[in-house]
Structure 1
């Protein structure tokens, strides 16, 4: 008798007694059987037995496959119990989506331990699909790009990428950017048709491509933007820096999400034009200016921190004792720390702006990016605010889900969907209030971490800070486009005066 048939697996209380390979295969059997029958009981059984799994005897590939299967299980359950109409707006707080993201991120982190393969490409594509669904469209494109680096020309990934670009284009308020995005989507859909696609996907791709073609004439679709003909600066240093920013998708410019050519090499992101009877729009614009400046400074400090050409003169004569533990002290490392702390703090400034703009009702002393989305009424439990839950704002939906990447000690009951969230919060806390020791990459982290000290390899700090910078950039894009969507929805309350401030001259920035 095959003990891995669905009926036998349903009779088990747990996976105890099965070897890792059978556990992975068994999960797949339960999930696929449940999906085929449209019966959630098989899927729920697999998810129940797969919870809190001990991976002591697993190979890394088996752990990766386990998390990939668990993500599929939550996806199938969502397909059975979630909205049947793809246009239906579901509540922001969705456990099935949370668990899919958590498991796919765990599978992806394990994938970094061995050469990229088709499974990693599938994980990246699925993450791209999920991030697009939850409104984190800017970040979803990054996952698609990484998947296409592993499996170039893969039709399904190209179709999903182009679909996301098309949706992104629809909420851009700059006409030139919108046209550029639609052209990019049109070309991507054409490339997707050259690859393997499911019949339904192929039909949808053709329909979407024809729709874009109906908006433009052939000359517009074939227009040459001369994408790499824009200036990157007047000095070698500036050109090097701007090329690095483009490559790492760090310009505050939506176009950097779809191209790394010089056409995207400027920080043109702003809040949309706001009209009001009071001075609130001016307050929002001033705060956004500050947020942009802090980001640009953190980005450049990070660049300098990872590219120190030589010891800086400000470090000369700074007498320090050497205890041979590999701890490094320098201006470059302090710039890395400043970049990390500044990036992390920007999220609370975004929360401050949103709390006022959406009139969420939080006391200014209690505002934080992790907190503002939820009810602050005592005894109400963990509940998303109605003002948030009822919005059909795709970009604000992205901001809401982005808050789930973070951990806040004062509200531990809010679950995070990022495996490293608690570690990032701990690093920030040690940077701000205690001691953090940045050690050489070749040195092992000491077992005894000392009194109130956090030890981290320089390479790890660099990687975590880069991810933080990229996440901040995405949040700022969602904020800008989300406010624009809200402005379209808000009814007119009589005459108001739009604000058209002058653009600041770069020569005055000193």
Structure 2
């Protein structure tokens, strides 16, 4: 990354040149994106603006080749840089960025930039058929009072509803689209002429949709059964838990993605109907193997969700009988050993296992060849990627939701440029790393430390203090400087080399992460796991609808429930 920070005028020129390259379909577009992405602005606002420009450039490059390469890295980079742009704005506290122009003091709205980035990011996700993930970014734009977010989210919900096989959930997607469309007509928050034109075009299309909905559901225009439904809670604790799940949209159903009322308080996600040839060799349990496995995945998710919520309610370092029989070593790094952190660890292990279980389900259901991926090597990375490319078996299916899962897997295992997934020093330890976007590098670090090394969940303030040396001479950098000044053949040089090697060996012994960042990572993985399960069911539904009738004799198989 270059040391020179760019001012507003310089970033404006970059934006103009990017627009010119896009308009002329220049072959230099990618090269220019790669040059510009290494730069930073003088402020977080300007850096966000710069990354927004880079993301737009990569997206334009993707659009030029989408017919030939759906998995182009350009769309991944476009999303990557818009996520980085949003992250830069997360630390922008001022409502406006002010700068001197030829006409005097000028102001740029932070809210407007954030809403533009959010809408584009959501739109790019829909290009990957990740409509369910796009919704939260449309909501960011709506929160910033951008009416364009209303119309684009309505469009996204309509597109998503076409694939949802559950009629009840599909209705709520329809209803939410209708509400957003009606609200958009009353809004006056579209600020630029270009946005205004697109806004009016979308509004015109949504007018037709509103007329269709009004004719289709005349009795549900003003209210529906979600307004009056009341859940039967066992006690106050039960209500508190379900309210938390609903508010965070963690119930396993499509409806909770668009409403948070008590009507959505159920885990009713199920596999869609799919056919299979009659096979008299199969036991009843084998006929239900896919349903049983999916039930196992759901149960793991629900257990992890409850465990995480339980841990959130436990105060830090609460005494418990499980560790009442021992004295803990004082490691001088503010590591927390208690029931709360162990619940977090267990929840995280469950979420990691869900990713690989989904991969195994796909392996079996879509009959991936053992010669391509040996069964014992199946995981969320290997099922979708091979040599930084989509796995060969994916080419046999024109399935948008398998492709969505492919892209989602990149958020867990980054197969792109080495060390491209951190906004700070790629070699920095986990505690110093950027835990927001992109997340793949952080997820891998946490998983590796949790399962194979040492993961310390720490109090951030105490840990930072513990990592400071009382003597500036006793630091690794000071030792390296001194080493460069010594005679390489001297005994002192040899001894110092040994000390430095031991320092490096023990410094990299494990990873540390603050309690707050750990909680954030777990919540992110919950949302990712739920989304992956929904994409899995949608991929099966799409596959079943696309099958050619081969005249084979089939009978419906009723799925029994306890």
Aligned to 2:344: 336
Aligned to 1:372: 383
Structure 2, unaligned stretches of length 5 or more? 94-109, 423-436, 468-502
CA deviation after TM superposition for structure 1 residue 426, in Å: 1.5
Aligned to 1:38: 24
Counterpart pick for 1:59 among 37, 40, 43: 43
Aligned to 1:499: 557
Aligned to 1:293: 299
**2:374 paired with 1:363:** yes
Aligned to 2:456: 437
1:30 match: secondary structure: helix
Quickly say closer, same or farther: Cα 1:143–1:200, change in 2 above 3 A: closer
Counterpart pick for 2:14 among 27, 33, 39: 27
CA deviation after TM superposition for structure 1 residue 287, in Å: 0.7
CA deviation after TM superposition for structure 1 residue 222, in Å: 3.9
**2:33 paired with 1:68:** no
Counterpart pick for 1:202 among 200, 203, 209: 200
**TM-score (normalizing by structure 1):** 0.85
- Check whether the contact 2:2–2:38 (CA below 8 A) recurs between aligned residues: no
Instruction: State the alpha-carbon separation in 2 of the partners of residues 139 and 101 from structure 1.
Output: 12
- Check whether the contact 1:40–1:77 (CA below 8 A) recurs between aligned residues: no
**2:69 paired with 1:91:** yes
Quickly say closer, same or farther: Cα 1:38–1:454, change in 2 above 3 A: same
CA offset digits 1:196-255 (Å, max 9, x no partner): 363344233333442353350422444522336331622111111111111111111111
CA offset digits 1:6-26 (Å, max 9, x no partner): xxxxxxxx9998845454223
Instruction: State the alpha-carbon separation in 2 of the partners of residues 42 and 386 from structure 1.
Output: 30
Instruction: State the alpha-carbon separation in 1 of the partners of residues 3 and 453 from structure 2.
Output: 44
CA offset digits 1:148-188 (Å, max 9, x no partner): 22x13x22111111111111211111112212211111111
CA deviation after TM superposition for structure 1 residue 416, in Å: 6.9
Alignment of 1:110-129 (within 5 A): 110-115=88-93, 117-129=111-123
Instruction: State the alpha-carbon separation in 1 of the partners of residues 166 and 205 from structure 2.
Output: 25
CA deviation after TM superposition for structure 1 residue 491, in Å: 2.5
Alignment of 1:168-183 (within 5 A): 168-183=160-175
**2:422 paired with 1:422:** no
Counterpart pick for 2:124 among 130, 135, 148: 130
CA deviation after TM superposition for structure 1 residue 484, in Å: 0.9
Q: State which drifts further: 454-463 or 57-66.
A: 57-66
1:456 match: secondary structure: strand
Instruction: State the alpha-carbon separation in 1 of the partners of residues 130 and 115 from structure 2.
Output: 19
Aligned to 2:517: 460
CA deviation after TM superposition for structure 1 residue 262, in Å: 0.9
Aligned to 1:311: 319
Alignment of 1:404-419 (within 5 A): 404-407=410-413, 419=438
CA deviation after TM superposition for structure 1 residue 266, in Å: 0.7
Instruction: State the alpha-carbon separation in 1 of the partners of residues 439 and 4 from structure 2.
Output: 31
Instruction: State the alpha-carbon separation in 1 of the partners of residues 118 and 232 from structure 2.
Output: 31
Counterpart pick for 1:388 among 375, 380, 394: 394
CA deviation after TM superposition for structure 1 residue 434, in Å: 1.9
2:300 match: secondary structure: helix
CA deviation after TM superposition for structure 1 residue 117, in Å: 2.7
Quickly say closer, same or farther: Cα 1:133–1:227, change in 2 above 3 A: farther
- Check whether the contact 2:79–2:124 (CA below 8 A) recurs between aligned residues: yes
CA deviation after TM superposition for structure 1 residue 450, in Å: 3.9
Counterpart pick for 2:141 among 127, 144, 147: 147
Counterpart pick for 2:150 among 133, 136, 158: 158
Structure 1, unaligned stretches of length 5 or more? 1-13, 84-88, 376-380, 505-510
Instruction: State the alpha-carbon separation in 1 of the partners of residues 319 and 211 from structure 2.
Output: 56
CA deviation after TM superposition for structure 1 residue 259, in Å: 0.9
CA offset digits 1:298-325 (Å, max 9, x no partner): 1111111222055334343342133442
Aligned to 1:107: 85
- Check whether the contact 2:455–2:512 (CA below 8 A) recurs between aligned residues: yes
Quickly say closer, same or farther: Cα 1:231–1:412, change in 2 above 3 A: same
Quickly say closer, same or farther: Cα 1:44–1:319, change in 2 above 3 A: closer
- Check whether the contact 1:47–1:73 (CA below 8 A) recurs between aligned residues: yes
Q: State which drifts further: 411-420 or 232-241.
A: 411-420
**2:269 paired with 1:261:** no
Quickly say closer, same or farther: Cα 1:415–1:441, change in 2 above 3 A: closer
Counterpart pick for 2:362 among 330, 354, 366: 354
Larger radius of gyration, structure 1 or 2?
Answer: 2
1:444 match: secondary structure: helix
Quickly say closer, same or farther: Cα 1:389–1:24, change in 2 above 3 A: farther
**TM-score (normalizing by structure 2):** 0.78
CA deviation after TM superposition for structure 1 residue 344, in Å: 1.5
Alignment of 1:274-285 (within 5 A): 274-276=274-276, 277-278=278-279, 282-285=288-291
2:559 match: secondary structure: coil
Instruction: State the alpha-carbon separation in 1 of the partners of residues 548 and 418 from structure 2.
Output: 37
CA deviation after TM superposition for structure 1 residue 69, in Å: 1.4
1:438 match: secondary structure: strand
Q: State which drifts further: 94-103 or 488-497.
A: 488-497
Quickly say closer, same or farther: Cα 1:499–1:341, change in 2 above 3 A: same
Quickly say closer, same or farther: Cα 1:192–1:287, change in 2 above 3 A: same
Instruction: State the alpha-carbon separation in 1 of the partners of residues 229 and 451 from structure 2.
Output: 43
Q: State which drifts further: 325-334 or 274-283.
A: 274-283
CA deviation after TM superposition for structure 1 residue 412, in Å: 8.1
Instruction: State the alpha-carbon separation in 2 of the partners of residues 16 and 302 from structure 1.
Output: 42
- Check whether the contact 1:232–1:243 (CA below 8 A) recurs between aligned residues: no
